[in-house]
Amino acid sequence: MTLRLGDTAPDFVQDSTEGTIHFHEWAGNSWVVLFSHPADFTPVCTTELGKTAALGGEFRKRNVKPIAVSVDPVDQHRAWVNDINETQNCSVDFPILADADRKVATLYDMIHPNSLANATVRSVFIIDPKKVIRTTLTYPASTGRNFDEILRVIDSLQLTDSHKVATPANWKQGDDVVIAPSVTDPKELAERFPKGFKTVKSYLRLTPQPNK
């Protein structure tokens, strides 16, 4: 099954380093970053899980729960977590799904036909509190994921869900944003964007970030 943006994230029940996970129930009213790993004790993924743990405060600030998935069993995951904590100077405090039967990998289309049969591709799913898939990213095995970008995307999604704006190229917190083309009424513009705006073209209007 190929998942697309706007699809409901499939629910599942799977074992993990923190016990049995009923996914939708576990997610609750939080955003979720679900990311996959081809196997335990792999070098790039070790750094990624360490980075996720180090960014725990940033995820919590944004009401985001990270959860990882690998096809190896729980006891092996726990041994790997010890290595991650030791080598990355962190404390992994989020669950790692033990997807030995590849239930989650199959639901989320993480087994690529051009990859090894038991190796999940390195995917990222950003899922909102309504359990809707809002972003997907897939990385090659040799390239570590950019967690600054993952946080930036979450910031953009949360901002644009609350205000009638979009974020331009390379946007980051505090930068100007783009007013949605649907907002044309002068009264609404004044109410929504009291800091004013700059019209570059009729379809390109920039305004200071509304929630800053």
Catalytic residue among 45, 90, 105, 126: 45
Cα–Cα separations (whole angstroms), residue 159 to 42, 179, 192: 35, 12, 13
Distance CA(13)–CA(27), nearest Å, equals: 12
Residue 65 to residues 84, 109, 121, 168: CA-CA distances in angstroms?
Answer: 19, 21, 21, 26
CA angle 142, 114, 131 (to 5 degrees): 80
Asked whether 111 and 120 are in contact (CB, 8 A), the reply is: yes
Q: How many helices (H) and strands (E) does the chain have?
A: 7, 11
CA atoms within 13 A on the CB side of 143: 9
- Which residues neighbour 82 within 8 Å (Cβ) at sequence distance 6 or greater? none
Q: Clarify whether 90 is annotated catalytic.
A: no
DSSP 22: E
What is the set of active-site residues?
A: 45
